[in-house]
Amino acid sequence: MIKATVNGKEFTVDGKKLDGNPVEWDLLEVRDNTFHIIMNNKGYSAVLVSHNPEDKTMTINVNGNDYEIAVKDKYDILLQQMGISAKSSTTVNNIKAPMPGLIVNILAPEGTEVKKGDGLLILEAMKMENAIKSPRDGKIKKVHVQLRQAVEKNQVLLDFE
């Protein structure tokens, strides 16, 4: 069973049933991110506008209309029933060194606002430079290392607010 929220309205999808009612449908990808859908003998053109697999959200344009969709599978529903947020359990509050090495550049000093994927530090290990990137949006609270400092594996490099 899947719960899908489409533009704020919730639906339950279970096999070939939508909110308990049987639905006949077929989906064909005609090119990258573009689909042809037949549902209850009607045809629709759909384009995947954006997709965030981490949040299980997407925007789909169907016949010229945008639809914001959020999907919850049975595990998401179970976590919600238990009062656990899947997102909160994966929040990263600090960055640790993935391997021993030498800090050769600090790209995000304390107080810097960063977006997910932004470079934070450059760690040189085994004659290779490794960019340490931000796993989330946030603000750098404290940088625990200095330029040209040797670090050990799992040493805390910086903290997020």
Residue 143 has pLDDT above 60, yes or no: yes
Q: Which domains does the chain have, with CATH numbers?
A: 2-88 (no CATH), 94-160 (2.40.50.100)
The pLDDT mean for the chain works out to 89
pLDDT, tens only, 120-133: 999 998 888 989 99
pLDDT, tens only, 5-58: 999 999 998 888 889 999 888 999 999 899 999 988 899 999 999 988 878 899
Confidence of residue 78 (pLDDT cuts 50, 70, 90): confident
pLDDT, tens only, 86-134: 555 457 789 999 899 999 999 999 999 999 889 999 999 888 898 999 9
Return the structure tokens found at 13.
């999808």
Amino acid at 84: I
Residue 86 is predicted with a pLDDT of 55
